[in-house]
Structure 1
Amino acid sequence: MPLPRRLVLTAALAFPALARARDTIPPEARPVPARLLPVPGTVSPELQRLIAAPYPVGWNVTPTDAAGWRQVQVASSAAIEPHMAALAASLRVRVEPSSIAGVPVFIVTPETLPAANRDRLLLHLHGGGYVLYPGLVGVGEAMLMASHGGFSCVSVDYRMPPDHPFPAALNDAIAVWRALTAERDPRRMAIFGSSAGGGLTLATLLRARQDDLPFPAAIAPGTPWCDLTDAGDSLRANAYVDNVLVAPTGWLGGAARLYAAERDLADPLISPIFGDFTGFPPAILTSGTRDLLLSDTVRAHRKLRRAGVTAALQVFEGQSHAQFISPGVPETAEAFGEIAGFLGRHLA
């Protein structure tokens, strides 16, 4: 099949363009020629289809006002919500809306709960850049964990911008955690979530320390968005390689500013990579080789290890941002199997 004309032109012009631009490139920067990036044959056919998918529509459109952000929220939810009931049925889990400490939550329970997990509970914080997936559409990751890991989960439907910027999400997460630890043994609980949910997992621990609340027995921050300051090597190295977030020039930067609401993006409760991880519970972190936030993940892992924390890191071949949360993909079962096994070894 012939290559698209635009790719042929890009490849043909790459090196001359770099030569002409060499005087404007910082001397420490490394020019990288345009190239075609094939789908790896080293992953499952199901994952290959995800890797080959085009960029999401609107990835590079950043709303300019609150109404625009609300429209994005509604559109993203509308595309997913009709499939949630079928997903729950296929995963054989029960999802029930509830409320804890005045915060809306969803209780997710597997059809078969292993005896070892009957007194264990996981707190789930969903992803979506702090602005997407309110309500039921944010529960998919908890469904996967309940199904593949055999745990009961409480998924927090935390408040989000544009109406509720920082610290609303963190306040909701800590309110639920406070209520749960008042009734349950924290040694039998863990906190997990991916992307913004992974960052919020780490921020919840920092806030729990401030509030003299107990830590959980373990955490599982997946591809955590733990640095909102636009730093990290993979933000540039994996730009336009990741087919989920695509590049830091997309809506993600706008979401960071919207969430922070003019506060310092380096505030550890916003970007927990700048916080103190000393004394944190054992952690397992998950990412992919094409993930735009791979650097956030490996930096958080190294920071945990430097603090003396038991921490595992799993990085999946070819995966873009949070693609390990993809139903029906063998690598998803593998990822959650690893996470569940790690949590099972550390929960009382």
Structure 2
Amino acid sequence: MTPLQVPAKTLQVPTADISPEMQKFIAAPLNPGWTFHPKTGEEWRAMADKIAAGVVPGLPAMQERMHVKVESSTIDGVRVNIVTPDDIPEQNRDKVIVHVHGGCYVYFPGASGTTEAIMMAGFGHYKVIAVDYRMPPEAYFPAALDDAMTVYKSVLKTTAPKNVGIIGTSAGGALTLEMVVKAKQDGLPMPGAIAPGTPMSDVTKTGDSFYTNEFVDNVLVSPTGFCDDAAAFYAHGHDMKDPLLSPVYADMTGFPPAILTTGTRDQLLSNTVRVHRKLRRAGVVADLNVYEGESHAQYQFDDRVPETKEAFGEIAAFFGSYLGK
């Protein structure tokens, strides 16, 4: 088929129905790290540590705003951070949310990977177990999934499956879906509900918005940018179309209720939309929340932004509707 030729154009920062705080993220210049193409795991880790050093100092104030405490621990040998709200309502006290962080499988080690878990615990008033899964150069595919499944299986020993939720964004969104795929493969019980945010559900770069939002998404920027390299590096030669790396290709029959979140400028908008349609075609309850103007994962960049409170409010309400049912 003949490709569509699109003339060069200038995009204004959208302002309608967008908070001034979010407008600042939307108006930000392209991520300067999008052209980072390291060749070794050590180089990836050095960049991850540099990014983490910019995140960690802000965590104490964030924890205070969210009224949560964070405790580092291990579960069956897997590193975790357990996030507990100061106030857990009675209906949530038997519920647990397992969190898998984003970062293209290479970024946000240790405490730096807890920001979304802190927001989930703070806005949703759930206990959250954040999995600090192994990343290159420590380990490669399927280490992240293995670690997440180890934690999930441990949680099932003390918590009814219907009371367990799973949440993650970007690579964490993919891992959320991959955990369900793996649970199906291994005959494990399904969680009660899942919240895959803008999931890296197809690392073969298939999907319209990979290209329509190229250089529009100011976070991922391009399908040939750092995140593509990172995913391939983590895959370590494995088939990129394997549903345990690209879960959009999985059979989603029998999946738990899911809430998906993305933005109109998100390079992974199509990844999110395709998962939503696949879930709906499989007869699964699935909500799709698309935020105006936002690039990749910007709905969870800052807990003080109104859209962040709104997004996590939607996720918390969704978990409230389906966990324990």
SS at match of 1:59: helix
Count of residues in correspondence between the two structures:
322
Counterparts of 1:84-95 in structure 2 under 5 Å?
A: 84-95=59-70
- Tell me which residue corresponds to 1:245: 220
Q: Which segments of 5 or more consecutive residues in structure 1 lack a partner in the other structure?
A: 1-26
Q: Is the CA contact (8 Å cut-off) linking 1:162 and 1:258 kept in structure 2? A: no
Cα offset, 1:162, TM superposition: 2.8
- Tell me which residue corresponds to 1:308: 283
Does 2:316 align with 1:340? Answer: yes
CA distance in 1, matches of 2:100, 2:69: 18
SS at match of 1:320: coil
Work out which of the residue numbers 190, 215, 221 in structure 1 matches 2:190: 215
- Tell me which residue corresponds to 1:98: 73
| Amino acid corresponding to residue 202 of structure 2 in structure 1 | D
Does 2:37 align with 1:45? Answer: no
Cα offset, 1:127, TM superposition: 0.3
Cα offset, 1:163, TM superposition: 2.8
- Tell me which residue corresponds to 1:192: 167
| Amino acid corresponding to residue 38 of structure 1 in structure 2 | Q
Q: Is the CA contact (8 Å cut-off) linking 1:97 and 1:106 kept in structure 2? A: yes
| Amino acid corresponding to residue 83 of structure 2 in structure 1 | V
- Tell me which residue corresponds to 2:307: 331
Q: Is the CA contact (8 Å cut-off) linking 1:282 and 1:310 kept in structure 2? A: yes
Work out which of the residue numbers 105, 116, 130 in structure 2 matches 1:141: 116
CA distance in 1, matches of 2:118, 2:184: 29
Q: Is the CA contact (8 Å cut-off) linking 2:26 and 2:295 kept in structure 1? A: yes
- Tell me which residue corresponds to 1:131: 106
- Tell me which residue corresponds to 2:95: 120
CA distance in 2, matches of 1:259, 1:118: 36
- Tell me which residue corresponds to 1:7: none
Counterparts of 1:218-297 in structure 2 under 5 Å?
A: 218-297=193-272
CA distance in 2, matches of 1:133, 1:88: 17
Would you identify which runs of 4 or more consecutive aligned residues in structure 1 move more than 2 Å?
none
CA distance in 2, matches of 1:168, 1:185: 25
Q: Larger deviation: 53-62 or 280-289?
A: 53-62
Cα offset, 1:75, TM superposition: 1.1
Work out which of the residue numbers 137, 143, 147 in structure 2 matches 1:172: 147
| Amino acid corresponding to residue 340 of structure 1 in structure 2 | A
Q: Is the CA contact (8 Å cut-off) linking 1:304 and 1:311 kept in structure 2? A: yes
- Tell me which residue corresponds to 2:180: 205
SS at match of 2:70: strand
Cα offset, 1:270, TM superposition: 0.9
Q: Which segments of 5 or more consecutive residues in structure 2 lack a partner in the other structure?
A: none
CA distance in 2, matches of 1:344, 1:225: 25
CA distance in 1, matches of 2:316, 2:40: 40
Instruction: Give % identity.
Output: 52
Work out which of the residue numbers 62, 67, 74 in structure 1 matches 2:42: 67
SS at match of 1:332: helix
CA distance in 1, matches of 2:179, 2:76: 16
CA distance in 2, matches of 1:161, 1:228: 17
CA distance in 2, matches of 1:153, 1:106: 8
TM-score (norm 1): 0.91
